[in-house]
């Protein structure tokens, strides 16, 4: 080309090359917008969680005092004034220690299942996946150990299913060696199901013979479902399935927590022997209930009918604490001598010392005229 001549194709080449930086800038802006939206969603999730967590235990404690006062506001105010907050919190933790592993394992299992089943481009926008990924592996491992110690025997097959599902789906989502995926997602669940059925076989037969259908299903279904729980579900059914399970779990958890905590004792049961008329020959009375407070002159007692009683300390002849005999088993099914309604912790912890029942705990006075 001679000097001074204009190339006719230069303009078309410049038009073809020029838009490239604009396209790159547009992609960066779209990526920043998506990252900002994801950060906003995560911030809203944290704010919602930080609002609910402190309010839930406080609401449970107030409901327990309201239930103990037989729905009497004045009695509840008296209990709020005198009952130790440390005792309430201790009862709450001991009674509801089983719920923490349940929430952790269900959340992580549903998150991993949805992550394995949904499209890759939709994973970051799914709240259930984000909630599951926020649970560290060490928390999951600690939850498994805690559940193994505190859950009843009939719920341990369910724990086995969720543990295999979390581990299998985690390996599948990490997209590691296919042989490792087959070993953890297929071979391990089958082997564990066989071992579970061999160990639980006598209990399953006993439950079926005695007509305990619920116990039999809890022992039979989870090991079999564990083989299917380590794989993804069809993509169109992934979100409706996981959302439905999460919704049902969220709705049922408060009722399960409330039903267990409202029956838990928050004050020791005491039998007080009272002689209101020391001069006559009438036998002393025995009041069974909960001691609210004691001062220099008077003892405040809440009896088992919800009535607040005030008695002078000079009239108190004796008092004793009544032992908690525990809840009697309602399912007559055992596995190798292990009652299905007992947790492993009851076998590890020292057995309570068997003592004869104090007559005052049965309403009979210890001193007779």
CA distance 333 to 152: 12
* Percentage with pLDDT > 90 across the chain: 16
Tokens describing residue 132: 């599951």
What pLDDT does residue 22 have?
A: 45
Residue 32 scores a pLDDT above 80: no
Residue 263 scores a pLDDT above 70: yes
Residue-wise pLDDT for 51-67, tens only, equals 666 677 777 788 888 88
In CATH, what number does 267-325+357-369 get?
2.30.30
Residue 92: pLDDT band with limits 50, 70, 90 = confident
Buried b (16+ CB within 10 A) or exposed e, 170-202: bbbbeeeeeeebeebbeebbeebbeebeeebee
Residue 195 scores a pLDDT above 90: yes
Residue 41: pLDDT band with limits 50, 70, 90 = low
Least confident of 96-100, 102-106, 137-141: 96-100
What pLDDT does residue 3 have?
A: 46
What pLDDT does residue 16 have?
A: 45
Residue 123 scores a pLDDT above 50: yes
What pLDDT does residue 164 have?
A: 93
What pLDDT does residue 179 have?
A: 87
Q: Mean pLDDT across the chain, nearest whole number?
A: 79
Residue 14 scores a pLDDT above 50: no
Residue 90: pLDDT band with limits 50, 70, 90 = confident
How confident is the model over 240-266, as a mean pLDDT? Answer: 83
Burial class (CB in 10 A: 0-12, 13-18, 19+), 288: middle
* Percentage with pLDDT > 70 across the chain: 78
How confident is the model over 170-178, as a mean pLDDT? Answer: 81
Residue 364 scores a pLDDT above 70: yes
Residue-wise pLDDT for 273-328, tens only, equals 888 776 677 778 888 888 888 888 888 888 888 888 888 888 888 888 887 766 66
Dihedral (CA of 289, 294, 300, 306) sign: negative
Residue 114 scores a pLDDT above 70: yes
- Within 13 Å of residue 245, how many CA atoms lie on the same side as its CB? 16
What pLDDT does residue 161 have?
A: 93
Residue 192: pLDDT band with limits 50, 70, 90 = very high
CA distance 29 to 343: 55
What pLDDT does residue 189 have?
A: 92
Residue 359 scores a pLDDT above 80: yes
What pLDDT does residue 144 have?
A: 93
Domain assignments of the chain as residue spans, ordered by start: 30-151+233-261, 267-325+357-369
CA distance 167 to 169: 6
Residue 36 scores a pLDDT above 70: no
């Amino acid at each position: 080309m001679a000097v001074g001549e204009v190339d006719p194709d230069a303009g078309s080449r410049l038009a073809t090359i020029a838009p490239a930086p604009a396209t790159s800038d547009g992609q960066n802006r779209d990526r920043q917008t998506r990252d900002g939206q994801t950060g906003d969603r995560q911030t809203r999730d944290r704010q919602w969680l930080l609002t609910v967590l402190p309010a839930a235990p406080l609401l449970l404690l107030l409901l327990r005092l309201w239930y103990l006062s037989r729905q009497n506001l004045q009695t509840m105010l008296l209990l709020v004034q005198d009952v130790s907050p440390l005792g309430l919190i201790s009862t709450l933790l001991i009674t509801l220690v089983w719920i923490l592993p349940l929430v952790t394992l269900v959340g992580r299992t549903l998150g991993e299942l949805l992550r394995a089943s949904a499209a890759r481009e939709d994973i970051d926008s799914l709240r259930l996946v984000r909630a599951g990924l926020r649970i560290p592996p060490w928390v999951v491992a600690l939850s498994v150990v805690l559940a193994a110690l505190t859950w009843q025997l009939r719920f341990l097959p369910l724990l086995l299913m969720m543990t295999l599902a979390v581990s299998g789906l985690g390996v599948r989502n990490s997209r590691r060696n296919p042989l490792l995926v087959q070993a953890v997602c297929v071979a391990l669940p089958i082997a564990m199901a066989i071992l579970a059925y061999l160990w639980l076989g006598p209990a399953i037969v006993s439950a079926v013979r005695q007509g305990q259908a619920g116990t039999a299903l809890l022992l039979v279904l989870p090991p079999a479902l564990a083989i299917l729980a380590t794989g993804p579900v069809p993509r169109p059914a992934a979100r409706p399935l996981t959302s439905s399970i999460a919704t049902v779990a969220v709705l049922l958890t408060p009722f399960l927590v409330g039903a267990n905590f409202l029956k838990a004792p928050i004050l020791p049961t005491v039998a007080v022997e009272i002689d209101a008329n020391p001069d006559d020959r009438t036998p002393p009375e025995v009041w069974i209930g909960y001691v609210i407070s004691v001062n220099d002159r008077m003892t405040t007692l809440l009896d088992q009918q919800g009535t607040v009683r005030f008695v002078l300390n000079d009239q108190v002849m004796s008092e004793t604490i009544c032992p908690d005999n525990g809840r009697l088993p309602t399912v007559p099914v055992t596995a190798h001598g292990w009652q299905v309604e007992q947790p492993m912790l009851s076998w590890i912890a020292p057995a309570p010392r068997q003592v004869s029942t104090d007559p005052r705990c049965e309403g009979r006075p210890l001193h007779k005229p």
